Amino acid sequence: MSIVVQKYGGSSVADPEKLRAVAQRVVATKHLGHSVVVVVSAMGKTTDQLLALSKQITPQPDRRELDMLLSTGERISMALLTMAIREEGEEAISFTGSQAGIITNDRHVDARIIEVRPIRVQDELSRGRIVIVAGYQGMSYKREITCLGRGGSDTTAVALAAALKADWCEICSDVDGVYTADPRIVPEATRIPRLSHEETQEMAESGAKVLNAQAVEFAKQHDIAIYARATSGPLPGEDPSSDGTVVQRLSPDASGLVVAVAGERGLFLLRGELPEAGALLSALDDVEASAKQTQIVRTGGSGWRVSMVFAKENLHQADAVRRILRDQFQERASLIEGFGAVSAVGAGINQDFRNTHRGQEALSGLGIEELFTSSLRSSWILPDDRVDEAQRALHRVFFGTGR
Ligand code: ADP
Ligand code: ASP
Ligand code: MG
């Protein structure tokens, strides 16, 4: 029997009425003859509220306790959805991440899945039940509860799809696919019917929230097709790209065309000039602070100029980093808030300088601080409050008239 994994995000399960609508979509999938595994996120803004609650107790919550707290959000929605499915007359059972066999490393708050042992899920599917799994969480090999980093329920879904050898993995949210820009910010953005894993991963790493970067990386490694779709939309038909986006293995044509632009807010820049960079790198590793971008350049003298970009969302130890910079590096490096980034994504876009040139011109006057490029992406760092304007300007230059 074919296995289908569906993931429903926070906005899709935000209240009892929406939970009921999701339950009906799940049951309709089951009635088509599939075995169904459903991964759920926490209801609405629950994770943000839990985080804010912890900050009222302490500015620097312990990472283990934070995971204990944040993992409860998904437990609420898994139990409620299971009840809603039973109300629709189907047999269903819920599991936490650890019960579903999601094994992670021991890096609290942004753990990575290292193995999936879905024995209990398989048992329940063979009994004909629909299985509901709490997203965003697992259990470390030390048997501790861990969370996967913001947006991590997508990763739970893809990892389960891989372990169960599912026929497809559907990521359902409030938007009917992946667009050429965030449609909330750029109304002219259009849906992209098909995308490669590589380009989608770059989009996600550049801030396009619709799919989580680690989830896409997992899908690429295990050759899984992801269908990004609207929860309110139909079930995938003959051609799932006709009303959603299919992210799959596509032979890279490296045509040099920009496929999408993205914006990201809430970045910190760490900047400094140091006699040697090694001590800073190991001090940052000690507090498990991982950067999105790092650049280390030798200065005219004997030192090094360091520039790093951190996502505020996943940097829960900013105060510890500040302390390190003050105590160990006597303020020769500092962590500065208030930045964001906009990116252009596409295989081969930096084969020559034309795209960089166009982007640079489109963003002139918006306070660009730095530019990072790779074979798939160009990312400009600029003030946080210019990001939306910059995303619109980049979209206009790459997708407006004269593309
Ligand atoms: P969920 O809660 O279902 O996981 P998210 O909020 O994580 O949903 O992701 C969906 C949101 O992603 C959309 O509401 C949209 O505003 C945003 N988004 C950002 N970039 C894109 C893009 N390129 N295409 C589609 N949606 C995008
Ligand atoms: N609830 C978690 C978050 O808000 C995980 C997710 O939604 O995927 O980040
Ligand atoms: Mg999400």
Mean pLDDT in the chain? Answer: 94
Interatomic CA distance for residues 104 and 388, integer angstroms: 35
Query: For a pocket test of ligand 2, which of 39, 47, 218 has the largest count of ligand atoms closer than 8 A to its C-beta?
Result: 47
Q: Quick check: CB of 9 below 6 Å from ligand 1?
A: yes
State the distance from the centre of ligand 2 to the C-alpha of 357, rounded, in angstroms.
Answer: 36
Task: Say if residue 338's pLDDT is above 60.
Answer: yes
For residue 46, give the nearest of 131, 133, 107, 135 by alpha carbon: 135
pLDDT in tens, 32-47: 999 999 999 999 999 9
β-strand partners of 36: 4
Which residue minimizes the CA distance to atom 4 of ligand 2?
47
Strand order in the sheet with 194-196: 92-95, 130-134, 35-40, 3-8, 168-173, 226-230, 245-248, 194-196
Interatomic CA distance for residues 384 and 403, integer angstroms: 27
Interatomic CA distance for residues 78 and 39, integer angstroms: 8
Q: Quick check: CB of 176 below 6 Å from ligand 1?
A: no
Q: Please, which pLDDT band fits residue 175 given cuts at 50, 70 and 90? A: very high
The minimum-distance atom of ligand 1 relative to the CA of 173 is 3
pLDDT in tens, 364-392: 999 999 999 999 999 999 999 999 999 99
For residue 194, give the nearest of 258, 242, 154, 141 by alpha carbon: 242
Which residue minimizes the CA distance to atom 9 of ligand 2?
150
By percentage, how much of the chain surpasses pLDDT 90? Answer: 89
Task: Say if residue 1's pLDDT is above 80.
Answer: no
Where do the domains of the chain lie, and which CATH numbers do they carry? 3-248 (3.40.1160.10), 260-399 (3.30.2130.10)
For residue 368, give the nearest of 346, 387, 354, 392 by alpha carbon: 387
Which residue minimizes the CA distance to atom 8 of ligand 2?
151
Task: Transcribe 81-119 into DSSP letters.
Answer: HHHHHHHTT--EEEE-TTTTTEEE-S-TTB--EEEE--H
Which residue minimizes the CA distance to atom 12 of ligand 1?
210
Distances (CA, A) of 11 to 1, 104, 174, 204, 395: 30, 26, 7, 19, 26
Burial bucket for residue 365 (CB in 10 Å: 0-12, 13-18, 19+): exposed
Say what the pLDDT of residue 358 is. Answer: 96
pLDDT in tens, 54-68: 999 998 889 999 999
Say what the pLDDT of residue 319 is. Answer: 83
pTM above the 0.75 mark? yes
Query: For a pocket test of ligand 1, which of 158, 180, 182 has the largest count of ligand atoms closer than 8 A to its C-beta?
Result: 182
Q: Which tokens in the block code for residue 45?
A: 């803004």
Helical (H) or strand (E) element with 318:
helix 318-327
**Amino acid in position 389:** E
State mean pLDDT over 246-254.
84
Q: Are 347 and 315 in contact (CB under 8 A)?
A: no
